[in-house]
């Protein structure tokens, strides 16, 4: 890992995160799968990881900057991974009453648009429902895999740089 150039890795992280976010938007707008509040938080964390990768790649920092970007990326990936773990837990062991809030249609019918807009950006789906799977894993599970891969790759890269 020591000989791998930083700039292409950081920009590659941006591309991967952008692709994952685009796929999430595809599932939402084409397949009609409404994101829940936890999905929205994971999207924010993934967007943060991607933006950190973009800025770091464009900046191409030295040793100190690499530590700063690594710390920021680690925090964003840990936050997103933590939410993904919690959502996976809720999906495996659903609560008696949904904790995620009302659906999109209910919000638009029951509240004025000025009140509905902030709620829409918090997500509308039920966090315990599994609407889509691939290879037996839900979106939350795949989200965790993505954040864990970011963290493991980051640690491996930074450990290789210290030698």
For 130-159, write each residue's pLDDT tens digit: 786 779 888 889 999 999 999 999 998 888
Residue with more model confidence, 23 or 115: 23
Say yes or no to pLDDT of 53 above 70. yes
The residue range of the domain holding 62 is 6-92+101-161
Q: Is 27 contained in some domain?
A: yes
CATH of the domain at 154: 1.20.1550.10
In a domain, 1, yes or no: no
Count of structural domains within the chain: 1
Confidence (pLDDT) at 34 = 82
Task: Write the Ramachandran bin of 109: left for phi over 0, alpha for psi from -120 to 50, otherwise beta.
Answer: alpha
**Residue with more model confidence, 108 or 1:** 108
Region 74-101 average pLDDT: 82
Q: pLDDT value at position 4?
A: 76
Q: Is 86 exposed, middle or buried (0-12, 13-18, 19+ CB in 10 A)?
A: middle
Residues 12-29: tens digit of each pLDDT: 999 999 999 999 989 888
> Is the pLDDT score of 127 beyond 60?
yes
In a domain, 59, yes or no: yes
- Higher pLDDT, residue 111 or 31: 31
CB 45 within 8 A of CB 136: no
On whether residue 13 sits in a domain, the answer given is yes
Reported pTM:
0.78
Which range, 28-32, 121-125, 126-130, is most confident? 28-32
Residue 87 has pLDDT above 90, yes or no: no
Question: Can you give the pLDDT at residue 138?
Answer: 86
């Amino acid at each position: 890992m020591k000989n791998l150039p930083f700039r292409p890795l950081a920009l590659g992280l941006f591309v991967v995160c952008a692709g994952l976010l685009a796929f999430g938007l595809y599932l939402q707008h084409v397949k009609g799968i409404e994101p829940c509040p936890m999905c929205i938080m994971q999207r924010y964390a993934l967007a943060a990881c991607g933006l950190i990768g973009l800025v770091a790649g464009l900046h191409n920092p030295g040793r100190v900057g690499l530590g700063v970007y690594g710390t920021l990326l680690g925090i964003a990936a840990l936050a997103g991974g933590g939410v993904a773990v919690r959502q996976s837990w809720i999906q495996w062991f659903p609560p008696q009453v949904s904790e995620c809030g009302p659906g999109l249609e209910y919000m638009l019918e029951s509240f004025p648009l000025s009140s509905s807009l902030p709620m829409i950006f918090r997500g509308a789906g039920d966090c315990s429902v599994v609407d889509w799977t691939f290879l037996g894993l839900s979106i939350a599970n795949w989200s965790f895999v993505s954040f864990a891969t970011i963290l493991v790759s980051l640690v491996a890269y930074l450990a290789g740089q210290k030698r």
